[in-house]
Amino acid sequence: MLIHLPQVLAPEQVTQLRAALDQAGQAWVDGRVTAGYQGAPVKLNQQIDERSAVALECQRVITTALERNALFISAALPNVLYPPMFNRYGEGMGFGSHVDGGVRLHPHNGSKLRTDLSATLFLSEPQAYEGGELRIEDTYGTHSVKLPAGDMVLYPSTSLHEVTTVTRGVRVACFTWVQSMVRDDGERALLFDLDNAIQRLNTTEADDVARRTLVGTYHNLLRKWADM
Ligand code: NI
């Protein structure tokens, strides 16, 4: 399931983050420092040192925004969020096809996190660069994603994906991973559909007994499938 989350950040938050990141100087390092043996040969980009002061400041903004985003909570059912990271692709840079590592170490406390969902939050407007599309493969084919600054895409970490070479301009983005309470993408998709249907019923004159039954079913399925 590939989900588009519009306006996770307000325009002024995007401006604030971009100002911090664009002035980060030596906090920008070669992206291969965090790539595994599969990713390193195909990865050509820069990223912010995840322990730098600018990373901590920007992580706080994004984590707070996601914790308040009802669509993110409903779609991801997050258990643990990896501290968001930031990357930059200048002209000639890209990241070839790969699958993200299945387990990551939390950079601040060393705990292990299973990557169930991958997320990219765009911090450059689409017209600011050419190329730089996030291409994600799933059973329905390949999806090309290039969203307005402030928007996020969420997709299963099991997916093969790539960032095509930037041919003009600069692409700045934030990326992270979620360990979900519900690790199976199919089960999570069913809960998301059910939650969306209940939210719609909440705004209509729906039969209240039937609506409450569905709410109960949602929570009973969540109880059955959730792991923490
Ligand atoms: Ni990746």
CB neighbour class for 37 (10 Å; exposed up to 12, middle 13-18, buried from 19): exposed
> Given this chain, do its domains 3-180 and 185-225 carry the same CATH topology?
no
The pLDDT value recorded for residue 108 is 87
| 204 Cα–ligand 1 center, Å | 41
Which residues is 47 bridged to in the sheet?
A: 29, 87
pLDDT at res. 37: 72
Residue 32 has pLDDT above 90, yes or no: no
Domain ranges of the chain: 3-180, 185-225
Q: How far is the CA of 103 from the centre of ligand 1 (A)?
A: 13
Report pLDDT digits (tens) over 100-115. Answer: 999 999 988 999 999 9
Biggest CA–CA distance in the chain, Å, is 60
The architecture in CATH of the region 3-180 reads: Sandwich (2.60)
Instruction: Name the pLDDT band for 116 (thresholds 50, 70, 90).
Output: very high
Q: How far is the CA of 12 from the centre of ligand 1 (A)?
A: 27
Centre of ligand 1 from the C-alpha of residue 217, in Å: 35
Give the gyration radius of the chain's Cα atoms: 18
CATH 4.10.860 holds for 185-225: yes
Ligand 1 centroid to Cα of residue 214, in Å, is 36
- Name the residues around ion ligand 1, CB cutoff 5 A: 100
User: What are 42-51's pLDDT values in tens digits?
Assistant: 889 999 999 8
> Mean pLDDT throughout 166-177?
98
Each residue's pLDDT tens digit, 208-226 = 999 999 999 999 999 999 9
